[in-house]
Amino acid sequence: MRLSMIVALVTGFTVVSAGQFTAQAVAQAGTQAGANWTYEGKTGPEVWGRLDPAYGACSKGHEQSPIDIHGAHLNKALEPLEFHFIAGPMTLENTGRDIVAHVDPGSTLMAGGVRYRLIELDFHHPAEHPVKGKLSDMEVDMVYRTEDGKAAIVAVRLNQDRGFPNALLATLWAHLPTKPGTTEKITDMVSAGGLLPADRGYWTYSGSEVTPPCTEGVRWFVFEQDLSLSRGQMRAFANLYKLNTRPIQDLHGRKIEANE
C-alpha cells in the first residue's frame, strides 16, 4: 500500500491521502459471482434463494438483512465506533443493479475490539433499513472486512432536504457512470468520512449481506442520526435506479441493541 503522508484529524477521525485503487475491491466483487439476479420481476428477491444453490441463505437463513429497526435494547457496554479514513481517489462502478464506490485501501473501522478495512460504498434507493416502519429516501452502506473475511456494514440513512445537498455526494454524483458495466474514476482526494453523521449513536444486530449470496455473519451498525441530501441528488440516483432495495426480512428472534 502506498500512502502519501498527509494526515489531519477531523472531528474524531483520521484523514490521510492514499495511493492508487487496487484489485482488492474487484476480488471482493468476485465473491458475488453466480446466477443473475435482479430487484424486480422473475429473478427478484422473492426467488433469489432458488436461482442458485449458492444463494440458499437468501431463503433459508434466519439472520437475514435488512430488518426494521424497532424495540432496540440499550447496551451501555457497547463502545463507540472508531473510524480512520484515508482520503484519495475513488472508482464509481455502475453494476447494472446499483452504484458502488470502490475506495483506496487504508480506511478502517474499530468495533468491538476488531479492526475492519473499508472496501466499498453501496448506494440504495430507497433506504434498506426502516426505523419503526419508516423508510428514509436513500441509504449508503459502508462495507468493511477483516483480513480473514469477517464482514461489518455501517448503514447511513439519507433524507432529502431541498436546501441541504450532501457535500460528498456532490463530488461523487458529478462522476456518476450512467451506463451499466461502466466505471468513472474520481481523481480528487475524497474521504468517505463525509458520510458520517455528527452524532455517532448506533443500532447494531447480526445479519447478512443484502444481495446474493446473502451470506450471514455480518455485523450491522445503523446510525441513529440521518443525513441530508438534496432533491436533485436523490433524483440523479433514482433516474438510474428507482428501486434497488431488498424487502424487509424476518427478525427470527434476533436482538437489536443501541449504544446510547
pLDDT digits (tens, 9 = 90+) for 14-72: 333 333 333 333 333 334 568 999 999 999 999 999 999 999 999 999 999 999 999 99
Give the pLDDT band of residue 2 (cuts 50, 70, 90): very low
Write down how long the chain is. Answer: 260
The confidence score (pLDDT) of residue 101 equals 98
Distance of CA 217 to the CA centre of its chain: 16
Interval 115-143 mean pLDDT: 97
The confidence score (pLDDT) of residue 34 equals 87
The dihedrals phi and psi of 174, each to the nearest 5 degrees, come to -65, -15
Q: Are strands 13-18 and 82-94 parallel, antiparallel or unpaired?
A: parallel
The confidence score (pLDDT) of residue 24 equals 38
Q: Is pLDDT above 80 for 104?
A: yes
Quick check: bond before 66 cis, omega within 30?
yes
Domain coverage including residue 134: 3-258
Q: Is pLDDT above 70 for 9?
A: no
The CA distance from 186 to 8, in Å, is: 21
Q: Is pLDDT above 60 for 12?
A: no
pLDDT digits (tens, 9 = 90+) for 141-199: 999 999 999 999 999 999 998 768 899 999 999 999 999 999 999 999 999 999 999 99
The confidence score (pLDDT) of residue 14 equals 37
Interval 129-135 mean pLDDT: 97
The confidence score (pLDDT) of residue 38 equals 97
Which range (1-10, 113-122, 143-152) has the least confidence? 1-10
pTM: 0.87
Q: Name which residue leads in pLDDT, 108 or 31.
A: 108
The confidence score (pLDDT) of residue 8 equals 33
3-state secondary structure 197-247: CCCCCEEEEEEECCCCCCCEEEEEEEECCCEEECHHHHHHHHCCCCCCCCC
The CATH number assigned to the domain holding 177 equals 3.10.200.10
The confidence score (pLDDT) of residue 33 equals 65
Look at the chain and report how many structural domains it folds into.
1
The CA distance from 211 to 123, in Å, is: 12
pLDDT digits (tens, 9 = 90+) for 204-256: 999 999 999 999 999 999 999 999 999 999 999 999 999 999 999 999 999 99
